[in-house]
Structure 1
């Protein structure tokens, strides 16, 4: 358990660092490139963005190692602390001390994670159930993400950023479950990494990951990190936990006391993410950024 927690927190730290770098680079892109593959083609030429992607990839590798050792419902809340690390990076970069609201947000996020884990005691889970059930769950989640994007297209810029970020977090939740499903399937079949080529999950995971990155960069393009990151951070663990239960058969305690603790933990987690997302440290990622022609203010 200790190793899993350390892997999850290390993964979260790298994810937070990667998100800060990605948003700083993506925010300078024209609004007209949102939701267009051209946005990724432009960003791939920026060294800062590439370093941010590298940090995110290493974070996802550590997250995969954590998922190999534990259930999705146990790892997802740990990954949700990436916003704390993003806040810390911003504070160090701008040489300012954290205020009371940042500490409150950090306590709520950390306390929410601990409360959820202690109350739910997630366990079990294994090879995905019937293919039809798996695909129904995945398609339903993809439809949810698509609805968020469709609403975002017609929304004002701040709302657009939040909705696109939530859609990205939804896809990241699918990605986490597919990662766990791939690793468990290979482990049960006694196959090595080459066995990834013989199952469908990695291919679906790759498509979902690319779409998630496009949505996330579009959210980063639309608004500062304080607006664009919290929704991603909140949506990913919720979707991941729900899909972990639906697809992998993971189990949470369901007695009244446990349910109350789980709900309270998730509420605290989301509230902490919202508070941290409004931190002035994260807002400063937009200062000194020169907007390209066509950028709305």
Structure 2
């Protein structure tokens, strides 16, 4: 089997396990306490929750498969396929909450799946470098850092679904950075433990994972799953893909006739995720926020 095919299988497997982990995490973020708590206090409480750790273990399997996929294929390919985690998470969440998905939600979910398929096939993503230069990463910090800070400040001012979306943007962006760093870490695995331990990206990678998880739980706590998860699901591949191009030098090769189709597919992916988020927010508004 070709490397690209193995990357696709690993990425889809990662999407499934990450989706299950996200659903468990979202439920525990609401159930761990009925008291209003800050982001750090929420995270420390979740660290003492057994169900949350179960979700973390399931998600860890997904991250391992994601790492394997990134070792076999480009960031552009893998992250586009990870968007399908939303297609797994929504039916699972609907089953657990006994709030069936509507016909419109299934329609938007189908459009999301189709757009991802088009992006992967028409975009024809190619691999670049496994690791980015220091200058490239400094540029990322200068641009991305203030943007994420503004989202955190805005989330503290806003409430409900708006806060959930802003926090989800922070988490999704951090997981996008995590994906790109993962490719560099995986690339050094074959050089031995000492080479890995002396790799600066390893420690940044671990810190970004903790920060991404903390903001993810804060987002889950702030609103419904599909106010937060669709935003994360879009933000992660968008940020990761942009970094794949800017930092790692990856490219898309849709051909002259394929660019319009590719742009349309990206637009459909974004619109469908937003539609899913708004539909769930409306249903939660009538049924009440779960606790």
Do they fold alike, i.e. is TM over 0.5?
A: yes
Show the counterpart of 2:213. Answer: 213
Q: Does 1:53 align with 2:76?
A: no
Shift of 1:237: 0.4
C-alpha RMSD of matched pairs (Å): 2.4
1:2: Cα distance to partner? 2.3
The 2-side partners of 1:288 and 1:149 are apart by 22
Say whether 1:247 aligns with 2:251.
no
Q: Does 1:262 align with 2:281?
A: no
Query: Are the equivalent residues in 1 in contact too, given 2:224–2:280 (CA < 8 A)?
Result: no
3-state SS, counterpart of residue 179 of structure 1:
helix
Higher relative contact order (CA 8 A, sep 6+): 1
1:248 counterpart SS class: coil
Higher mean C-alpha displacement, 173-182 vs 190-199: 190-199
**Alpha-carbon distance in 2 for matches of 1:205, 1:93:** 33
The separation in 1 between residues aligned to 2:290 and 2:99, in whole angstroms, is 19
My pick for the range that moved more, 256-265 or 160-169, is 256-265
1:180 aligns with 2:216: no
Please state how far the C-alpha of 1:134 moved relative to its aligned partner: 2.3
Pick from 12, 15, 39: which aligns with 2:42? 39
Partner Cα separation in structure 1 for residue 235 and residue 148 of structure 2? 10
1:160 aligns with 2:132: no
CA contact (8 A) 2:131 2:181 kept: no
Match for residue 63 of structure 1 among 66, 71, 74 = 66
Match of 1:293 in 2: none
Aligned to 1:136: 139
- Name which of 118, 123, 135 aligns with 1:120: 123
Q: Mark the CA change 1:142 to 1:61 in structure 2 (over 3 Å): closer, same or farther.
A: farther
State the Cα distance separating 1:289 from its structure 2 match.
Answer: 4.7
In 2, Cα distance between equivalents of 1:101 and 1:261: 24
Structure 2: gaps of 5 or more residues: none
The answer for unaligned runs of 5 or more in structure 1 is 291-297
Cα deviation, 1:102-121, whole Å, max 9, x if unaligned, reads: 32122111111111112221
Structure 2 CA distance, aligned partners of 1:247 and 1:227?
30
Cα offset, 1:272, TM superposition: 2.3
- Partner Cα separation in structure 1 for residue 35 and residue 84 of structure 2: 29
Please state whether the residue corresponding to 2:258 is helix, strand or coil.
Answer: helix
Q: Distance in 1 between the 2:36 and 2:115 partners? A: 38
Matched with 1:277 is 277
CA contact (8 A) 2:76 2:244 kept: yes
- Separation in 2, partners of 1:232, 1:6: 22
- Quote how far apart the aligned CAs of 1:125 are: 0.4
Task: Give the deviation of 1:59 after TM superposition.
Answer: 0.7
- The offset of 1:61, in angstroms, is 0.8
Q: Which moved more, 1:165-174 or 1:101-110?
A: 101-110
Q: So what's the TM-score if we normalise by structure 2?
A: 0.89
3-state SS of 1:235 partner? helix
Contact 2:254 2:262 in 1 (8 A): no
Q: Distance in 1 between matches of 2:113 and 2:104?
A: 14
Q: 2:277 and 2:178 mapped to 1: Cα distance?
A: 23
TM-score (norm 1): 0.87
